[in-house]
Structure 1
Amino acid sequence: MLAGGPLLAPDERLSRALVRSVPDPVTESLADLGNIPVAVPVLLLAMAYAFRRGLRRAALAAGAAMVLVPALVVPLKEWTARPGPLEPWAAGYFPSGHTATAMVAYGSAALLLSPFTRRPWPAAVALVLTGATAAGLILRGFHWPLDVLASVLLCGPLLWGVAVSRLRPRSIRRSSG
C-alpha cells in the first residue's frame, strides 16, 4: 500500500479531491479534537466518574487502552514511514495518531458513561467527535484517508477490550463432591 497496490491510487485521488475543500481554520479545529490535551482529559473525567461509581475494572481497562495507542501507532509510523499528502518530504503519517487518540478516548468515555445514562447519547457524541477528527485530518491534508481508516481498524479491538471489561464476571459454581 505504501509504494503500490490497489488501494494507493484511490486513496490519493480521494485525498486530492477533498484536501482544502473546507477552510483551513475549520478543518484544523476539527483535527485538534484528536490532540492529547483535548481528548485525554475527557477520558480521564469519564474514568474518574466510572471508578467512583464502581466500574473500576472498566476504568482501568480504558486507561490501559489509551496507553496502548502510542505503543501501537508509533512503531507502525516508523515502520511504514509514509509521506503526508501535503508534505511528501515528511514521513510517519500511517496510521493516524490523532484518529487513534480520538477514537479510544471518546469511545472509551462513552463506554464508561453509557451504563449510567441508559441513553445512546454517549456513543453518538463519541462517533461525532471521532468522525469530526477524522474528517478534519483528511480535509486539511494532514492525513491520507487510509491513514485514518487504519487507525479506526487498529483501535477497534482496544475499544472491544474496554467494552468486555464492563461485563460482570460469572460466578463460578463449585461442584460438591
Structure 2
Amino acid sequence: MAGSALLRRRGPRPWLPPLWAALAMAAVPAVVVPVKSWIGRTGPPAMAATGAHDGFFPSGHTATAAVAYGAAVLLLLAPRADSFRAPPHAGASVTPPHAEPARALPHAAAPADAPPHAEPDGMRPRNRHARARAWAAVAYVLLNSGVAVGLVRCGYHWPLDVVGAWCLSGVLLWGLAQALTRPVRRRPGPRRPRASTVPAVPGR
C-alpha cells in the first residue's frame, strides 16, 4: 500500500523511496545479528529454560516492527515532489520602471453564511496533513508499545533489549527520512526567461 502510494507521486524516479525503505529493512538484521553475537547477553529465565542460545540484546523483533511501521509512515506522509517547486511568480519578468503600477484589487467578500472563524482554502490541506501526521504518530507509538509489552510480558526479552532496539531503529529511520526528503528538496523549480528591463529604442 505504501509503495503504490509513492509510485503515484509526481517527479523523477518514483521507485527510489520504496527502494530506500527496503534498504532500511534489510539493514535491521545486518546490524542486529552481529551486535547480538558480540554482546552475547543471556535471555530471561523463560527463554533460558528452553535452551535458547545467548544473544538477546537488542531485540530483533522490536527493531523489525519499529523500522517496518516507521518506514510505512514515512512513505505515506513523504512530501510530494511538486510541493517544493518554485511558486508560479518565481522567475517572472521584471516590471519595467516606466510601467504603470498595478492597482490592488479589492478582496472578495466572504459569503454571508460563512462562519467568522472559517480558514482560507489554502490552509485546509496543510491542516489535514498535520492531522494525518499526528494520527500516524499516535498509531506508530501504540503499535510499537504493544509489541514491546508483549515481548517483555511473555518473557522473550528483557526491557533493556527493547530499549536498545528502539535506539537502533531511531537511527535507521532518521537515515531513511533524510534519504526520502533530500532528493525532493534539491529539485529545481521551473525557470522562465527574464524579460529585459531596458526600454526599446524607437526607430529613427
- Shorter-chain TM range is 0.5 to 0.7
Please give the alpha-carbon distance, in whole angstroms, between the structure 2 residues aligned to 1:152 and 1:47.
24
In structure 2, relative to structure 1, the CA distance for the partners of 1:100 and 1:112 (3 Å cut) is same
Q: Which runs of 5+ in 1 are unaligned?
A: 1-44, 173-177
**How far has the Cα of 1:171 moved from its partner?**
4.8
Q: Which range moves more in the overlay, 47-56 or 119-128?
A: 47-56
**Which position in structure 1 is the counterpart of 2:36?**
77
Contact 1:107–1:127, Cα closer than 8 Å, also in 2:
no
CA RMSD of aligned residues (A): 2.2
Please give the alpha-carbon distance, in whole angstroms, between the structure 1 residues aligned to 2:6 and 2:185.
17
RCO greater where, 1 or 2, for CA within 8 Å and sep 6 or more? Answer: 2
TM-score normalized with structure 1 length = 0.65
Point out the structure with the larger helix share.
1
Please give the alpha-carbon distance, in whole angstroms, between the structure 2 residues aligned to 1:156 and 1:131.
14
Number of residue equivalences: 129
**Which position in structure 2 is the counterpart of 1:49?**
5
Letter in structure 1 aligned against 2:158: W
Matched ranges for 1:6-155 at <5 A: 45-54=1-10, 56-85=15-44, 86-88=46-48, 89-90=51-52, 91-115=54-78, 118=129, 119=132, 120-155=134-169
Structure with greater Cα Rg: 2
Please give the alpha-carbon distance, in whole angstroms, between the structure 2 residues aligned to 1:114 and 1:169.
15
Please give the alpha-carbon distance, in whole angstroms, between the structure 1 residues aligned to 2:171 and 2:16.
17
TM-score normalized with structure 2 length = 0.57
Per-residue Cα deviation, 1:113-135 (whole angstroms, up to 9, x for no partner): 12477212222212211111011
Please give the alpha-carbon distance, in whole angstroms, between the structure 2 residues aligned to 1:51 and 1:137.
35
2:170 maps to which of 145, 151, 156: 156
Per-residue Cα deviation, 1:29-68 (whole angstroms, up to 9, x for no partner): xxxxxxxxxxxxxxxx312322333553322211110000
Q: Which range moves more in the overlay, 51-60 or 162-171?
A: 51-60
Letter in structure 2 aligned against 1:110: V
Please give the alpha-carbon distance, in whole angstroms, between the structure 2 residues aligned to 1:52 and 1:98.
31
